[in-house]
Chains A and B, each alone.
Chain A
């Protein structure tokens, strides 16, 4: 039992289940329940129906006329911002909540950074009648007040996390501690392709609908596959979600954009793939921002959803194998793209997404006029306007 579970939980050397012993039986049970659910037509149908009639899938593929003109190549936008609750996070939250219900779990735990995963989880819990507890760093609660309000409005308990850096990293640790205590009756809906196996693979599978839809939409609309697929990377779930269907298409470049914060040279960033080294955090072996003593560095990004010192193990694998290309964008450049894109296309992107947009802008001219670029618009920026206004970039 144990050996096969472990093998399936790795991406090359990365991944694994580095957790307290208490959680091993819970992870085994989750692995089995997940495999059973995928084989059960009733589950697959229930999930498909929920995604269609509640989340609003399939999400649209939009063109971006002004942005494309600037770039010199057609850019297509996969509109995860149009999902119910405004980001891709609900694809995973909905699926895991249905899985939890199937497992007979009545209480849901989640961590959140930007609050989008917390909102998505609070939403599906309200919908399915599950108790919901969301851990959120105090610093992020300040940055993302609107989302804290939304979660509470839908009946979730939002627990401020005061330890460490008071951001996503510490919220994740606190959610794991809750789960170690309550694993018999609670399910932990992790919000990205991170954590112990089977989470990275399961969350990727639940987000892979983004890429499956987008690939078919590209073939229909552009008549060809994109030259490049571009997505921002916090833990890496919207990126893995849109990449997955394209991994076998060797000619399609997969570009993940990390947060370079104040600049890679300052050490204040969240670019774990660019600057990190392999290590173990939150149950998995992956690239991490850490010092020589194996202590985790506090990450920094203007965007709460990218402010994480680790990254999903599958991205670590794609980086090392050369299949994925990983780049980074600073706070300032992302903020600039946030404003420009809003004006150009009438779409206010999430600050996370603005990183991916900025990288494409910085690379205008890189693509021939007949080489389409596919951008994952992971979420909408309504949650970010107060923060951006406070920074005085665009007066409110």
Chain B
């Protein structure tokens, strides 16, 4: 499903808009409305964050959304229920940390697929670090999306590309999730290097927060991922997050 979505975008000459939302944030009802609103506003893929108590790869905005979601009782199971209830037609990628996914049990990935998820991304399980767990993710029913960082050497990028499915998530800059004013100047060269060794679609995330960023990065990559900017807007209102997503969609399509 993820691959098909990228194929059809490519055929149409369009870039993917990947939108992140933390399951259960700001609360369950608004989280459901947000997922549906993001789809309606033109998201091609939804990343649904399963909150973890100790999110070391996240900046203050997503940390705070995770804490709020957990305080409202959100769980792995709860996130799956939300996805099912949202009845989305775009592909859904679960975004989380190893601990809450492993705790969900050996058939967690199958339950996720049954609930309507298509991919999974684990921020703290780098390629080659736990072959047994990676095989569990890789052989499961979800596309296992892997991450490449600005610090990743070229040969390791190649290794990561062969382990991933669906798309490769390129982290745009050193650091954790969060908003920034300017796109990292090293992004074009990192992307060019990754292109040489990777045949999967490449989506760039971390720090992309405005339509100007969307235009700039959309010119280089197959897709963009917007997280903290949407979460922060959703903090104020679902409508605001949806409006932001519309403007990102428009900027991306203008090229």
Contact = CB atoms under 8 A, between A and B. Distances in A.
B174 A6 contact: no
Chief secondary structure at chain B's binding surface:
loop
Contact of B56 (A21, A176, A183): A176
A42 interface: no
A180 B57 contact: yes
A16 B174 contact: no
A279 B102 contact: yes
Interface residues of B, number: 45
A283 interface: yes
A220 interface: no
A295 B126 contact: no
B174 A280 contact: no
Contacts of B126: 17-21, 24
B100 A20 contact: no
Interface string B63-98: 110010010000110000000000000000000011
Contacts of A176: 56
Contact of B175 (A173, A180, A290, A293): A180
Contacts of A280: 97-99, 102, 124
A26 B174 CA distance: 12
Contacts of B52: 294-295
A317 B78 CA distance: 34
A295 B151 contact: no
B53 A296 contact: yes
B150 A22 contact: yes
A20 B124 contact: yes
Contacts of A3: 128
User: Which of B58, B125, B147 has the most CB atoms of chain A within a 10 A radius of its CB?
Assistant: B125
A182 B98 contact: no
A23 B153 CA distance: 12
B129 A16 contact: yes
A181 B175 contact: yes
A292 interface: yes
A20 B146 CA distance: 11
Contacts of B76: 293-294
A20 B148 CA distance: 9
Contacts of A8: none
A227 interface: no
A164 interface: yes
Contacts of A22: 149-152, 171, 174-175
A293 B174 contact: no
B129 A17 contact: yes
A345 interface: no
B196 interface: no
A14 B124 CA distance: 16
Interface in B25-59: 52-59
Given A19-B124, A22-B171, A295-B53, A6 B151 contact: no
Interface in A7-47: 16-26
Contacts of A25: 149, 151-153, 156
B123 interface: yes
Contact of A177 (B59, B104, B124): B59
Interface in B104-147: 104, 123-130, 147
B103 interface: yes
A2 B176 contact: no
A342 interface: no
Interface string A281-303: 11100001010111110000000
Contacts of A163: 60, 63-64, 67
B151 A184 contact: yes
Contact of A164 (B58, B67, B101, B153): B67
Nearest to A9: B129
B202 to A, nearest CB: 14
A347 B14 CA distance: 72
B145 to A, nearest CB: 12
Contact of A281 (B58, B99, B130, B152): B99
User: Which of B98, B152, B153 has the most CB atoms of chain A within a 10 A radius of its CB?
Assistant: B98
A164 B147 contact: no
Contact of B125 (A18, A182, A183, A184): A18
Nearest to A294: B103
A84 B123 CA distance: 40
A6 B126 CA distance: 11
Interface string A149-179: 0000000000000011000011001001100
Contacts of B176: 20, 177, 180-181
A180 to B, nearest CB: 6
A2 B58 CA distance: 25
A20 B75 contact: no
B152 to A, nearest CB: 6
Given A184-B174, A294-B52, A21 B99 contact: no
Contacts of A19: 56, 124, 126
B100 A6 contact: no
B174 A279 contact: no
Contacts of A2: 128-129, 159
Given A19-B126, A163-B63, A173-B54, A181 B174 contact: yes
B103 A21 contact: no
A178 to B, nearest CB: 9
Contacts of A24: 126, 129, 149, 151-152, 156
Interface of A: 2-3, 6, 16-26, 163-164, 169-170, 173, 176-177, 180-184, 279-283, 288, 290, 292-296
Given A20-B57, A173-B55, 7 more contacts: A6-B128, A16-B129, A24-B126, A25-B149, A293-B100, A293-B103, A294-B103
14 contacts: A22-B149, A23-B151, A24-B156, A25-B152, A163-B60, A177-B57, A177-B176, A280-B124, A282-B56, A283-B124, A293-B75, A293-B76, A293-B100, A295-B52
Top-6 shortest CB links A-B: A294-B103, A22-B149, A181-B175, A294-B100, A2-B128, A294-B99
